Protein backbone atom coordinates (compact mmCIF):
# COMPACT_ATOMS: atom_id res chain seq x y z
CA UNK A 1 0.00 0.00 0.00
CA UNK A 2 1.43 3.36 -1.02
CA UNK A 3 1.75 6.54 1.08
CA UNK A 4 -1.23 8.42 -0.44
CA UNK A 5 -3.55 5.50 0.35
CA UNK A 6 -2.17 5.30 3.90
CA UNK A 7 -2.94 9.02 4.32
CA UNK A 8 -6.52 8.42 3.14
CA UNK A 9 -6.86 5.61 5.68
CA UNK A 10 -5.44 7.88 8.39
CA UNK A 11 -8.16 10.44 7.59
CA UNK A 12 -10.81 7.75 8.00
CA UNK A 13 -9.27 6.62 11.30
CA UNK A 14 -9.34 10.21 12.63
CA UNK A 15 -13.13 10.47 12.21
CA UNK A 16 -13.92 8.54 15.44
CA UNK A 17 -11.35 10.69 17.24
CA UNK A 18 -13.15 13.82 16.01
CA UNK A 19 -16.53 12.44 17.13
CA UNK A 20 -15.22 11.47 20.57
CA UNK A 21 -13.64 14.90 21.06
CA UNK A 22 -16.92 16.52 19.96
CA UNK A 23 -18.87 14.67 22.65
CA UNK A 24 -16.41 14.27 25.49
CA UNK A 25 -13.92 17.15 25.33
CA UNK A 26 -15.89 19.72 27.28
CA UNK A 27 -13.38 22.54 27.64
CA UNK A 28 -13.54 26.16 26.42
CA UNK A 29 -11.03 25.53 23.64
CA UNK A 30 -12.93 22.50 22.29
CA UNK A 31 -14.02 24.27 19.11
CA UNK A 32 -10.44 25.29 18.33
CA UNK A 33 -9.15 21.75 18.85
CA UNK A 34 -11.94 20.34 16.65
CA UNK A 35 -11.36 22.97 13.97
CA UNK A 36 -7.63 22.19 14.02
CA UNK A 37 -8.23 18.45 13.74
CA UNK A 38 -10.72 18.98 10.93
CA UNK A 39 -8.32 21.35 9.13
CA UNK A 40 -5.61 18.68 9.43
CA UNK A 41 -7.94 16.09 7.88
CA UNK A 42 -8.86 18.53 5.09
CA UNK A 43 -5.22 19.35 4.37
CA UNK A 44 -4.23 15.70 4.27
CA UNK A 45 -6.91 15.29 1.57
CA UNK A 46 -5.00 17.72 -0.62
CA UNK A 47 -1.68 16.18 0.44
CA UNK A 48 -2.50 12.59 -0.52
CA UNK A 49 -3.67 13.65 -3.99
CA UNK A 50 -0.59 15.80 -4.51
CA UNK A 51 1.77 13.02 -3.46
CA UNK A 52 -0.04 10.47 -5.62
CA UNK A 53 0.18 12.64 -8.74
CA UNK A 54 3.71 13.91 -8.15
CA UNK A 55 5.18 10.46 -7.44
CA UNK A 56 2.98 8.73 -10.04
CA UNK A 57 1.34 6.59 -7.34
CA UNK A 58 -2.22 7.14 -8.54
CA UNK A 59 -4.06 3.83 -8.03
CA UNK A 60 -7.58 2.51 -8.50
CA UNK A 61 -7.74 1.96 -4.74
CA UNK A 62 -6.80 5.59 -4.16
CA UNK A 63 -9.39 6.77 -6.70
CA UNK A 64 -12.04 4.96 -4.67
CA UNK A 65 -10.62 5.46 -1.16
CA UNK A 66 -10.03 9.22 -1.38
CA UNK A 67 -13.64 10.23 -2.17
CA UNK A 68 -14.93 7.78 0.46
CA UNK A 69 -12.68 9.39 3.08
CA UNK A 70 -13.92 12.83 1.99
CA UNK A 71 -17.55 11.76 2.25
CA UNK A 72 -17.16 10.10 5.64
CA UNK A 73 -15.48 13.20 7.07
CA UNK A 74 -18.16 15.48 5.60
CA UNK A 75 -20.98 13.24 6.77
CA UNK A 76 -19.59 13.20 10.32
CA UNK A 77 -19.42 17.00 10.49
CA UNK A 78 -22.83 17.47 8.89
CA UNK A 79 -24.50 15.10 11.36
CA UNK A 80 -22.70 16.52 14.40
CA UNK A 81 -23.55 20.11 13.50
CA UNK A 82 -27.19 19.79 12.38
CA UNK A 83 -29.00 22.57 14.19
CA UNK A 84 -25.72 24.06 15.36
CA UNK A 85 -24.61 25.88 12.21
CA UNK A 86 -26.01 23.45 9.65
CA UNK A 87 -29.75 23.63 8.94
CA UNK A 88 -31.43 20.22 8.72
CA UNK A 89 -32.76 20.88 5.20
CA UNK A 90 -29.27 21.71 3.97
CA UNK A 91 -27.90 18.58 5.62
CA UNK A 92 -30.59 16.47 3.96
CA UNK A 93 -29.72 17.77 0.50
CA UNK A 94 -25.98 17.30 0.96
CA UNK A 95 -26.27 13.87 2.57
CA UNK A 96 -28.69 12.69 -0.13
CA UNK A 97 -26.24 13.75 -2.83
CA UNK A 98 -23.39 11.98 -1.09
CA UNK A 99 -25.38 8.75 -0.66
CA UNK A 100 -26.51 8.78 -4.30
CA UNK A 101 -22.94 9.23 -5.50
CA UNK A 102 -21.57 6.65 -3.09
CA UNK A 103 -24.10 4.17 -4.45
CA UNK A 104 -23.28 5.07 -8.05
CA UNK A 105 -19.55 4.77 -7.43
CA UNK A 106 -19.98 1.45 -5.64
CA UNK A 107 -22.11 0.08 -8.46
CA UNK A 108 -19.64 1.29 -11.09
CA UNK A 109 -16.72 -0.22 -9.16
CA UNK A 110 -18.38 -3.64 -9.49
CA UNK A 111 -17.72 -3.30 -13.23
CA UNK A 112 -14.21 -1.88 -12.74
CA UNK A 113 -15.44 1.57 -13.74
CA UNK A 114 -13.92 4.46 -11.78
CA UNK A 115 -15.80 7.74 -11.60
CA UNK A 116 -13.01 10.19 -10.91
CA UNK A 117 -13.37 13.40 -8.95
CA UNK A 118 -14.08 16.38 -11.22
CA UNK A 119 -12.69 19.90 -10.94
CA UNK A 120 -16.16 21.12 -9.91
CA UNK A 121 -16.25 18.43 -7.22
CA UNK A 122 -12.86 19.56 -5.93
CA UNK A 123 -13.99 23.19 -5.80
CA UNK A 124 -17.16 22.16 -3.95
CA UNK A 125 -15.12 20.13 -1.49
CA UNK A 126 -12.71 23.02 -0.86
CA UNK A 127 -15.53 25.47 -0.19
CA UNK A 128 -17.31 22.88 1.95
CA UNK A 129 -14.18 22.25 4.04
CA UNK A 130 -13.69 25.98 4.68
CA UNK A 131 -17.35 26.33 5.65
CA UNK A 132 -17.09 23.38 8.05
CA UNK A 133 -14.11 24.93 9.80
CA UNK A 134 -16.06 28.19 10.21
CA UNK A 135 -19.11 26.28 11.46
CA UNK A 136 -16.99 24.34 13.95
CA UNK A 137 -15.64 27.70 15.14
CA UNK A 138 -19.28 28.82 15.50
CA UNK A 139 -18.99 31.63 12.95
CA UNK A 140 -22.30 32.38 11.20
CA UNK A 141 -20.65 33.08 7.86
CA UNK A 142 -19.80 29.36 7.72
CA UNK A 143 -23.48 28.54 7.15
CA UNK A 144 -23.68 31.02 4.28
CA UNK A 145 -20.54 29.60 2.67
CA UNK A 146 -21.96 26.11 3.17
CA UNK A 147 -24.99 27.28 1.16
CA UNK A 148 -22.67 27.98 -1.77
CA UNK A 149 -21.08 24.55 -1.32
CA UNK A 150 -24.55 22.98 -1.24
CA UNK A 151 -25.48 24.56 -4.58
CA UNK A 152 -22.19 23.33 -6.08
CA UNK A 153 -22.89 19.96 -4.46
CA UNK A 154 -26.15 19.61 -6.37
CA UNK A 155 -24.60 20.77 -9.66
CA UNK A 156 -21.56 18.50 -9.34
CA UNK A 157 -23.80 15.64 -8.19
CA UNK A 158 -25.83 15.87 -11.38
CA UNK A 159 -22.57 16.04 -13.38
CA UNK A 160 -21.22 12.90 -11.64
CA UNK A 161 -24.48 11.04 -12.27
CA UNK A 162 -24.44 11.92 -15.97
CA UNK A 163 -20.78 10.86 -16.31
CA UNK A 164 -21.32 7.67 -14.31
CA UNK A 165 -24.43 6.62 -16.22
CA UNK A 166 -22.68 7.39 -19.53
CA UNK A 167 -19.71 5.19 -18.53
CA UNK A 168 -22.04 2.38 -17.44
CA UNK A 169 -23.98 2.58 -20.73
CA UNK A 170 -20.72 2.31 -22.70
CA UNK A 171 -19.74 -0.68 -20.62
CA UNK A 172 -23.06 -2.42 -21.30
CA UNK A 173 -22.82 -1.69 -25.04
CA UNK A 174 -19.38 -3.36 -25.12
CA UNK A 175 -20.82 -6.43 -23.42
CA UNK A 176 -23.78 -6.69 -25.82
Each residue's pLDDT tens digit, 67-100: 788 889 999 999 999 999 999 999 999 999 989 9
Residues 6 or more apart in contact with residue 115 via CB below 8 angstroms: 101, 104, 105, 108, 160, 163, 164, 167
Residues 6 or more apart in contact with residue 67 via CB below 8 angstroms: 101, 105, 117
Report yes or no: 39 and 135 within 8 Å, Cβ to Cβ.
no
Tell me, what DSSP letter sits at residue 28? T
The CATH code of domain 3-175 reads 1.20.120.1760
Q: Is 135 exposed, middle or buried (0-12, 13-18, 19+ CB in 10 A)?
A: buried
Degrees to nearest 5, angle at CA 31 with 26 and 32: 120
> How many angstroms separate the first and last alpha carbons of the chain?
36
pTM of the model as a whole: 0.88
- Of 5-19, 143-157, 162-176, where does mean pLDDT reach its minimum? 162-176
Q: 30: pLDDT confidence band, cut at 50, 70 and 90? A: very high
Amino acid sequence: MNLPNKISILRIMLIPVFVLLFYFLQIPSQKFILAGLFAFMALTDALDGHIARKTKQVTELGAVLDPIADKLISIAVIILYIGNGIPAWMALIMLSRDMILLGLRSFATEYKIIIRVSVLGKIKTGIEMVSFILIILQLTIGTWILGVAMILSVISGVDYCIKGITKLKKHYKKMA
